[in-house]
Structure 1
Amino acid sequence: MASLRGGDEDQPGLVEPVPDFDIVPRAGRLRPLRTKDEVRAALETFEAYVIELPARSANALKDAVQAAIPDLKTAEFQHLRRVVQFRYLPPHLQQKFKLPRSNENASEGDDVAEDEDAVRYFLASPTSAISKADLVATLQRHPPFVDRQAPPRIFYVTVPALAPTSAEQAESWSQTYWPIAYKNTNPYGPHPSLVSRNTAEIGGDAGRWLALAQRAADELSDMHLGERVGCVIVDNSNGRQEVIAVAGDCRWRSAEGIPEPKEGPGNVMAHSVQRAIAIVARKRLRAAGKNPDTLDRKLFCDSPLTDLESQVYERDNITRNGYLCVDLDMYMTHEPCVMCSMAILHSRFKRCVFGRRMPHTGGLTADTVTGKVDEKIPLAKGLGHGIFWRPSELNWKLLAWEWEDDSTTDDEMITTSIPDTLQA
């Protein structure tokens, strides 16, 4: 095949325009993945005491509770409003806390509204921090309860244990649990503004690159060399998208280059992600003036095997001195397996998008799914690794999205023909 190299090799940006590839982009949208800690934040709750008290007594009783529980770390639940008016409580708590009418002959709502304006609801502490009897005893030693015969009204409520990760989640929790204070940040993952900005940057072309990944998958699958899984690597760092590598899966390709029986896992180093990363390495060597063919890398199947792969490989559009895959984006037909997810992370990719979740084998997603693959096979809850964003444990993090199609297309039907148990 004729080379498509163009321009000065010292200036890899001077190349022919990006090929059109004659593909129909997938129609849909990007849905950001939740990190492992975000999933945990959405699920963890604790039981807390809420005390009904006169509005003017709130600050004094805060101090009294803190004195009774000196080890109470209020910073751990500062996302929860400590003192709340009745009108700002979620409906189910309004019903639960509803004040008894002080005058049965009063007009409907008159003195009830007056009482509600005069009281506050104080979220005192987790129930694990103090017994209810000790809490009552503490309150009865301080005004306004010291002279009252009736015990303080104390309620049990369930509240989120961790801070919300978005304004939408804070609003939802305020209606479901307890009024929430949101600080316009995400302590458990990428900042919402970062996710929004990057989604806008790549969202318009993501469907195109996923369709190209599907074509790469189809070509090698039709040759009986691999599963119908594909990968595309794109450089978007200079405001112009350059396709750096395209690779299909060829795990069933023998050392002689012919199809082999589909027994066992096949060549795991020939997954499309592994091949695409290896092709990037070959292009880096070539850009640096070295001959990548001197390396014995047959295990990685890093030489192009189709016209499409060759067309992209032949383009000199990668810098010679780049570090690994920093600033590169990856688009995959399927969520990568744990091995490939770690390869993506350790190769220092900037962003990645996959077209279909693999709940039994995928390494990027952290949340769970429910349902069945079919009537006989229950759907796995998900491995829950969330490998793309675990900064306290792994030495790199990247942004990641799942693609959501607008409707079922022929390409999507091909994609979903892959069993959920496949290591993609």
Structure 2
Amino acid sequence: MMSAIKIGDSLKHIQPIIGRLVPLPTVQELHPTLEDAEAFVAEIDIKSANKVVKLLDSKFPRDPSLNLAYLRRFAKREHLPDHLKQPQEENGLSEPTSNRAKTIHVLISPPLPDRAELATLLAPHTTTSTGSILSDGAEAPSSAVQLRSTRIPLQPPTSLEQAQQWSRKYWPTVYNPAAQPASHSPPPTILSRTQASIKPPAGFYLALARKLAEEAEQSGRGRAVGAVVVDPAILESSLDEPLSAVVAAAGDSRYHDPNQRSPPPAAPNEPTTTNNSDDQPYHPDSEGQPSDHALMRVISLISHKRLTIPPAASTSNPPNPQPDPPQNPKPLPPEAQPLLHPPLSPLESHFFNTANLSPPSGGGYLCTSLDVYVTHEPCLCCAMGMLLSRFRTVVVGRRARGSELASLDAERGYGLHWRRELNWRAMGFEFVEEGVEDEDEDGGASDGFGFHA
């Protein structure tokens, strides 16, 4: 076994991968679903606009669960969609131009009141000084306020183009990127702030994950997949020592069997370092369990670490990245022994035995506020395990590129990192390595990897 000093020396030589971070889009952004409802539109005297708003809000309170701030409360006739301009003309009525300048249209959103009651309420606030003019030139007597119906979207637009389309089809709509609900996509300010904070060390942590992946493959324990978990609070206070923020690290172990040392089967589109000419066809059923995948293993190690290693005293004083040889973990009673594998390599043990894991927060979940860096896009089971553990951020090095393997691909896969149906969401990023994106565009070997990671 390598000593802690030798491991520390080997970690010094890790060279960060050069590349850029790209936020992963969400399913809601790429595949928006429109929910709409009926609303009323009434034409009122422009001088009564404020009175009408107060009257409507007091008499017919709006649904507090519906945030419709992206819909204009009032609109002039020239800004209305065509179907709201036509009724008067189709009925043979045309309002004098002088009157149109004195009126404005108000939107009454759901829950909708009784039509007759609403018309009676608004009647005193219509323009009555001049009657309407019939198509033959005769004057028609003024009547009660006209209520027209339209459909309105119940979610804010996701782009300026969509807002313009809705303005032409439903009702004048305003696009505000900050108005999106958190279930739709990460708030832009939080996303950009997170991206800026993890951008400098991302290449280093993925290089460390790649080292774990190579170790797993060369030892025959598993595929070339690695995962590294980082505490961003420690990283923020120790930017010059990124290793001090690593709370756990693991490689794949799907072939780990002390009694069997046969070469692993090859996966489609995945280069290997074993150069085995007798590679067998890829069969997912012979690839072990998801609990042997790198991401699930690193979650298991964090769980085991919380039970056996004393928690860090404070994130304001990060530990030395090259600590003294660690003490043996305290023994656990038999009923508390974890069922999954302990660390399988000196490198995994090095980070496992470092006492830098802060007590859990946010209801006691394993990985609240932690970030995970994985060499490959995780499989569906691992992605769900990531969400259930409450990670803050996931950074992937290689994407599955659209298939049943694409757990985070919101366009052709599942986009599990941020779905409004789930009760937890993690900000997702792809690390695009310099010089690799061209291969992806040309459909090269880097486009997907063909196995469950």
Q: TM-score range by the shorter chain?
A: 0.5 to 0.7
Q: In the aligned structure 2, how far is the partner of 1:76 from the partner of 1:188?
A: 14
Q: In the aligned structure 2, how far is the partner of 1:217 from the partner of 1:414?
A: 18
Counterpart residue number, 1:58: 49
- 2:374 matched to 1:332? yes
Q: In the aligned structure 1, how far is the partner of 2:438 from the partner of 2:211?
A: 12
Q: In the aligned structure 2, how far is the partner of 1:170 from the partner of 1:340?
A: 32
- In the alignment, residue 83 of structure 1 is paired with which amino acid? F
Q: In the aligned structure 2, how far is the partner of 1:216 from the partner of 1:16?
A: 16
Counterpart residue number, 1:120: 104
- In the alignment, residue 124 of structure 1 is paired with which amino acid? I
- 2:445 matched to 1:417? no
Q: Contact (CA 8 Å) 2:45, 2:125: kept in 1 or not?
A: no
- 2:205 matched to 1:209? yes
Q: Contact (CA 8 Å) 1:233, 1:245: kept in 2 or not?
A: yes
Q: Contact (CA 8 Å) 1:65, 1:138: kept in 2 or not?
A: no
Q: In the TM superposition, what is the alpha-carbon distance from 1:161 to its structure 2 partner? A: 0.6
Counterpart residue number, 1:107: none
The alignment partner of 1:237 has SS state of helix
Larger Rg: 2
Counterpart residue number, 1:188: 182
- In the alignment, residue 206 of structure 1 is paired with which amino acid? A
Counterpart residue number, 1:303: 343
- 2:115 matched to 1:73? no
Q: In the aligned structure 1, how far is the partner of 2:389 from the partner of 2:72?
A: 43
Q: In the aligned structure 1, how far is the partner of 2:218 from the partner of 2:9?
A: 30
Counterpart residue number, 2:436: 408
TM-score normalised to structure 1 length: 0.65
Counterpart residue number, 2:126: 144
- In the alignment, residue 182 of structure 2 is paired with which amino acid? Y
> Measured at CA, do residues 179 and 53 of structure 1 come closer, stay the same or move farther in structure 2, by a change above 3 Å?
same
1:268 pairs, out of 290, 296, 314, with 290
Counterpart residue number, 1:373: none
Q: In the aligned structure 2, how far is the partner of 1:298 from the partner of 1:64?
A: 64
- In the alignment, residue 340 of structure 1 is paired with which amino acid? C
Q: In the aligned structure 1, how far is the partner of 2:163 from the partner of 2:190?
A: 25
Q: In the TM superposition, what is the alpha-carbon distance from 1:122 to its structure 2 partner? A: 1.4
Structure 2 unaligned runs (5+)? 90-95, 133-139, 167-171, 266-282, 311-326, 361-365
Q: Deviations over 1:214-246 (max 9, x none)?
A: 454355346665344331222332222223443
Q: In the aligned structure 2, how far is the partner of 1:55 from the partner of 1:3?
A: 81
Counterpart residue number, 1:341: 383
Counterpart residue number, 1:22: 15
Q: In the aligned structure 2, how far is the partner of 1:299 from the partner of 1:174?
A: 53
Q: Contact (CA 8 Å) 1:364, 1:387: kept in 2 or not?
A: no
> Measured at CA, do residues 337 and 349 of structure 1 come closer, stay the same or move farther in structure 2, by a change above 3 Å?
same
Q: In the aligned structure 2, how far is the partner of 1:278 from the partner of 1:64?
A: 59
> Measured at CA, do residues 194 and 158 of structure 1 come closer, stay the same or move farther in structure 2, by a change above 3 Å?
same
Q: In the TM superposition, what is the alpha-carbon distance from 1:5 to its structure 2 partner? A: 4.5
2:227 pairs, out of 217, 225, 231, with 231
The alignment partner of 1:188 has SS state of coil
The alignment partner of 1:120 has SS state of strand
Q: How many residues align?
A: 372
> Measured at CA, do residues 277 and 51 of structure 1 come closer, stay the same or move farther in structure 2, by a change above 3 Å?
same
Q: Deviations over 1:233-265 (max 9, x none)?
A: 223322222234433323233353534674515
2:153 pairs, out of 160, 166, 171, with 160
Q: How does 1:377-388 map to 2 (within 5 A)?
A: 379-380=412-413, 382=414, 386=417
Q: In the aligned structure 2, how far is the partner of 1:44 from the partner of 1:318?
A: 50
Q: In the aligned structure 2, how far is the partner of 1:272 from the partner of 1:174?
A: 43
**What is the percent sequence identity of the aligned residues?**
23
Q: In the aligned structure 1, how far is the partner of 2:104 from the partner of 2:188?
A: 33
Q: In the aligned structure 2, how far is the partner of 1:249 from the partner of 1:55?
A: 69
Q: In the aligned structure 2, how far is the partner of 1:44 from the partner of 1:403?
A: 31
The alignment partner of 1:76 has SS state of coil
Q: In the TM superposition, what is the alpha-carbon distance from 1:17 to its structure 2 partner? A: 10
Structure 1 unaligned runs (5+)? 7-14, 103-110, 370-378
Q: Contact (CA 8 Å) 1:274, 1:340: kept in 2 or not?
A: yes
- In the alignment, residue 314 of structure 1 is paired with which amino acid? H
TM-score normalised to structure 2 length: 0.62
- In the alignment, residue 268 of structure 1 is paired with which amino acid? P
The alignment partner of 2:14 has SS state of coil
The alignment partner of 1:231 has SS state of strand
Counterpart residue number, 2:257: 254
> Measured at CA, do residues 409 and 386 of structure 1 come closer, stay the same or move farther in structure 2, by a change above 3 Å?
closer
Taking only aligned residues, the RMSD between alpha carbons, in angstroms, comes to 4.9
The alignment partner of 1:226 has SS state of coil
